[in-house]
Amino acid sequence: MAGQLVLAATPLGDIRDASPRLTDMLAKADIIAAEDTRRTRQLAAALGVALTAKLVSFYDHVEKTRLPALVDEVARGRTVLLVTDAGMPSISDPGYRLVAACAERALVVTCLPGPSAVTTALALSGLPVDRFCFDGFPPRKSGQRREFFETLRDEPRACVFFEAPHRLSDCLSDAVSVLGPQRRAAVCRELTKTYEEVKRGTLQELADWAAAQPVRGEITVVLEGAAPAAQSVHDQVADVERLVAAGSRLKAACAVIAERAGVSKRELYEAVLARRAPDGD
């Protein structure tokens, strides 16, 4: 029988979010690699599963040393289940090295989808998140954290990241300093748990809120993407000419570029004609 590595998402807080497939795999796996074996035992007990698998710890500091043996177990035909404390393995948690090592040996890797703090926070943020990036945890030191926010100054995608509760106030203050007070964001706390809370507002409003009281629990922050820079019709003339050179008619090219850039089609057409005139720039 072929072995396999199975990545399984575990509940963020509410045990009812555990999938039937997770419950089944906890009971059937040969080996369970867990970020915290105590948490995994508690999860199994809450789901009514009597663990028969060999349970081994698999967290950041032992990931590299435990990895070869787990890959060998998969190669021997064993089913290795990888779980973290909450959410999806390898998303800012141990896992990606194990996946890569199994893939390199052409071993079967599959996934039991489920809870993720990243996508849950994005959905609750109330911000445009049709395009987004994930940035793990920001740096702990203020100077490096400000450099991190500098990289997001012109990022058009929403950005989601995790933060420790005791650093949240300083983190948001640094965000205000770099990105300005009016950039919108959402702070999601204790997702799916009893005291779930989502605070939405400008960075300044959220920084004031975080500074006014101790914030507890697991934190996920969603930052609005940067607004596109204002563009003039003259910035689009070269793009129109490229379409024309590729075979488009001038008016059709102007219509396409004007819609994409959010400028007037008529003004863009006139700008192209002006640029083509003998005395044009």
Any residues with CB less than 8 A from the CB of 49 and at least 6 apart, and which?
23, 26, 27
Q: What is the DSSP string of the chain?
A: ---EEEEE-B-SS-GGG--HHHHHHHHH-SEEEES-HHHHHHHHHHTT----SEEEE--TTTHHHHHHHHHHHHHTT-EEEEE-SSB-TTSSSTTHHHHHHHHHTT-EEEEE----HHHHHHHHS-S--SSEEE--S--SSHHHHHHHHHTTTT--SEEEEEE-GGGHHHHHHHHHHHH-TT-EEEEEESTTSTT-EEEEEEHHHHHHHHHTS---S-EEEEEPPPPPPP--GGGGHHHHHHHHHTT--HHHHHHHHHHHHT--HHHHHHHHHHHHSTT--
130-175 pLDDT, tens digit each: 999 999 999 999 999 999 999 999 999 999 999 999 999 999 999 9
| Check whether domain 4-115 has CATH 3.40.1010.10, yes or no | yes
Question: CB 234: neighbour CB atoms within 10 A?
Answer: 15
* Residue 89, phi then psi, degrees to nearest 5: -55, 150
Local confidence pLDDT in tens for the 281 residues of the chain? 689 999 999 999 999 999 999 999 999 999 999 999 999 999 999 999 999 999 999 999 999 999 999 999 999 999 999 999 999 998 888 899 999 999 999 999 999 999 999 999 999 999 999 999 999 999 999 999 999 999 999 999 999 999 999 999 999 999 999 999 999 999 999 999 999 999 999 999 999 999 999 999 999 999 999 987 666 788 899 999 999 999 999 999 999 998 888 788 999 999 999 998 876 54
Contact 98, 8 (CB under 8 A): no
CA dihedral of 84, 89, 95, 98, whole degrees rounded to 10? 110
The dihedral through the CA atoms of 25, 27, 33, 38 has a sign that is positive
| Check whether domain 118-223 has CATH 1.20.1250.20, yes or no | no
Q: Tell me which residue has tokens 């290795």.
A: 80
- Alpha carbons 178 and 28: distance in angstroms, whole number: 50
